[in-house]
Amino acid sequence: MFRDLLTLEFSIIIYKKNLRAIMEDKNAKQKEFWSGKGGDYWVVKQNEMDVMLNPLGEKALAKLDLRIDSKVLDIGCGCGATTIDIATKVPEGKVTGLDISVPMLEQAKSEAIERGLTNIDFKVVDVQIDQLVTEKYDCVYSRFGVMFFEDPFEAFKNIFSSVKEGGELSFVCWQDPTLNPWQSLSIKVIKEYLDIPSPPERSPGPFAFQEQDYVKDILTQSGFSEINFDNNQEDITMFSGKSLQQASEDYLAINPVVTEMLKDSPDNLKAEIVESLKEAFSEFHKGDGLLFPSATWIVSASK
């Protein structure tokens, strides 16, 4: 009997190790990109990205009932702009920013130190794999940081366990690419030159959460209730302060699939693509970067 129990316990340990290895392997490409060229690019372009995304993130943040002593979790915090903003709103509380990108978190830590914020912490954590502390946070927030999980059901169960009873969740994610021409228009142009594979439906990426029913199913199965979707449509500025030429060049650098496909390509091919992007983007260039219509879901829920 005792030996049987030991055998069972050993089997469970091996199973958990194997499961973790499988999950880590699934996330390997995401970690490689965001701790490599993708993360480095966002560090360099942080201000431009924040100009684009901050107005959308603020819509989601407004859904949370933040108190001066709230404990808040910021998932996919990147270079830390959102985490720092939250920290100023909860001076007697604590904000924890999580991401899988080492260079982006280094930038976030430097910014927090420079501002003298002591109620903030940044950690390299994979929410899908690394178990979060249970019932620790009053609020969980994310600005476009929860659409990249290989297994979102597993990730959101972990997120749910970290929220206190009565706590809140709020995040912003993109709707259909056709409602976001900054993506659909550019990909149409690039596909004239490169054989870009269409990503599998609901696969990790910016538009993984475009389906409202799918997101609701994930949150419901994870245990969340009072799930609400706000249909937010507004203009956004991409590559603020850049010329049409610079904005078109930068767009190629921000797309990991395109960057990988072009890394060994001749310069004249890249130049041709940039010229075509300039033509497609010209109507959206307003002298201060590119001004595009956008559509996002502002998602909120409770525990």
pLDDT in tens, the chain (303 residues): 333 333 333 333 333 344 444 444 556 666 666 555 655 666 566 777 888 899 999 999 999 999 999 999 999 999 999 999 999 999 999 999 999 888 889 999 999 999 999 999 999 999 998 999 999 999 999 999 999 998 999 999 999 999 999 999 999 999 999 999 999 999 999 999 988 888 888 998 899 999 999 999 999 999 999 999 999 999 999 988 889 999 998 888 777 667 777 777 888 899 999 999 999 999 999 888 899 999 999 999 999
Q: 257: domain range?
A: 28-302
Q: What is the pLDDT of residue 35?
A: 56
Specify burial of residue 49 (Cβ count, 10 A radius: 0-12, 13-18, 19+).
buried
Q: Is residue 258 part of a domain?
A: yes
Question: Using a CB cutoff of 8 Å and minimum separation of 24, what contacts does 257-261 make?
Answer: 257/196, 257/197, 258/190, 258/194, 258/196, 259/37, 261/194, 261/196
Q: What is the pLDDT of residue 48?
A: 77
Q: Partners of 152 in the beta sheet?
A: none
Q: What is the pLDDT of residue 198?
A: 82
Domain count for the chain: 1
CATH number of 253's domain: 3.40.50.150
Q: CB–CB of 161/248 below 8 Å?
A: no
Q: Is residue 158 part of a domain?
A: yes
Strands 163-174 and 137-143: parallel
Q: CB–CB of 209/180 below 8 Å?
A: no
For the record, the structure tokens of 178 come out as: 């056709």
Secondary structure (H, E, C), 164-213: EEEEEEEEEEECCHHHCHHHHHHHHHHCCCCCCCCCCCCCCCCCCCCCHH
Q: Is residue 14 part of a domain?
A: no
Q: Is residue 220 part of a domain?
A: yes
Q: Is residue 7 part of a domain?
A: no
Q: What is the pLDDT of residue 41?
A: 60
- 105-154 per-position pLDDT tens digit: 999 999 999 999 999 999 999 999 899 999 999 999 999 999 999 899 99
Q: Is residue 2 part of a domain?
A: no
